[in-house]
Amino acid sequence: MKIIISPAKKMKVDTDIYPMTDLPVFLQETALLMEQLQEMSYGALKELWNCNDRIAKLNHRRLKEMDLKRNLTPAILSYEGIQYQYMAPVVFTERALGYIQDHLRILSGFYGVLRPMDGVTPYRLEMQAKFGAAGVRNLYEFWDDKLYKEVTGDDRIIVNLASREYSKCVEKYLQPGDVFVTCEFGEIQKGKVIQKGTLAKMARGEMVRYMAEHAIGNLDGIKGFHGLGYRFREELSSKETYVFVKEDI
């Protein structure tokens, strides 16, 4: 069983807490993307990144100084988004760290697929960015089915905790026999389940931590999740979608 999650835009360098154990599997492809980004002007990069000057200048400097093999941070510590804050990997036990290394995969527009302890450097490149690379129109075409093949391997069960922007890199290529379950975290409003972005990110992080701490090895084990007041609702769920509803606590 594999768990897929999205990256985060905000990143940091932290080489002290945990050591990286390996380099990303698609480092050759990443190097190609880096070279093409480095050839772009500051103005073109700022437009690509769709950000303010402060963020653009930071990432422009990072890009100019980028080294894909030195001063690297384990991927699970490098991202600073809400999902990662609620996952709180810095307090994981050795057993939980081993679990996520085996089961968790981070999807990335720049790196493709990352294992938690793969060494990365801060970058900015969203999967949906309008960036034509290596003669293709966008990053979805650039990565093609590589992410799907890397995530599945010998596993045929995928727990999707990623946003649509990233999950479709895998879902598009599903084959007969694959099991792909998306977890939704919402509230009941006017008889419908409504998922809110920030709360869903928080719950996804909590779900990863729950699975790691309990060494969840099958889909039934996910249903016991009750972080942040969410509870699994069998009657609202299907084989493809597990629905967790936030209850008053």
Mean pLDDT, consecutive 10-residue stretches, the chain (249 aa), reads: 96 91 97 96 95 96 96 96 96 96 97 98 95 87 96 91 96 96 92 88 97 96 95 96 86
Domain that holds residue 57: 2-246
Q: What is the DSSP letter of 197?
A: H
Amino acid at 219: L
Rounded (5°) CA angle 112-115-121 = 65
Q: What is the pTM of this model?
A: 0.95
Among 210, 23, 188, 52, which Cα is nearest to 114's?
A: 23
Tokens of 46: 């700022």
Can you say how many angstroms the Cα of residue 62 is from the centroid of all Cα atoms in its chain?
21
What is the count of structural domains for the chain?
1
